[in-house]
Structure 1
Amino acid sequence: MVGKYVEKIQQPDEKTPADIKPYAVLPKNLHYYTYSGSLTTPPCTEHVRWIVMQEPVIISQESITTLRSLYGHKGLMSEDGNRRPVQRQDTADVSVGELKH
């Protein structure tokens, strides 16, 4: 499902109109974990609220390859998908929630 949106992007930084329906790409189980953190690219000092779905969303290897080809040149996607240094695991307060339609 996610792949059909990724396929519409042809060039890095291209603004492509897409009829994206967010709930169409989310899992049926709308429960999530949330915690405060930062972006995954250094300097890792920005304050953001992360929302991580309890049920993973699966995308094809082809979609991952497309995203890496479009954004990898900026250092935004590495082979392992992460650019931040390893963080301590005992520092985040994690909450649980559920998205509502």
Structure 2
Amino acid sequence: MTQTHTIRTVLDLSTGHLTEQTRTLLRRAQSRQGFGLRTVPHQHGAIAFLSEDLAQDLEHVPVDLARTVTLAHQHSALLINFDADAPTHPDLPVHD
């Protein structure tokens, strides 16, 4: 029997691309947001698990988070690691 393994792409982004309000939303321990995003917080941010249909329906997602989700889907990433020590991306705005 042949097993196939799936390798997932992770987009590593600075938490600076998120507003404080969105960072607070993502820090909620193992939260499942109403818009199809599951997050697991860590010491320096959070990992966001993206559903396949999330990029198609960003209407209820905060604008700053929607931009990062769109970028992740453009690169076929199914996870975003938001980390305070990660680099910023030149195509995304940075918030204080």
Structure ranking higher in strand proportion = 2
Q: Which has the higher contact order (CA 8 A, sep 6+)?
A: 2
- TM-score, with length taken from structure 1: 0.22
Structure with bigger gyration radius: 1
- TM-score, with length taken from structure 2: 0.22
Structure ranking higher in helix proportion = 2
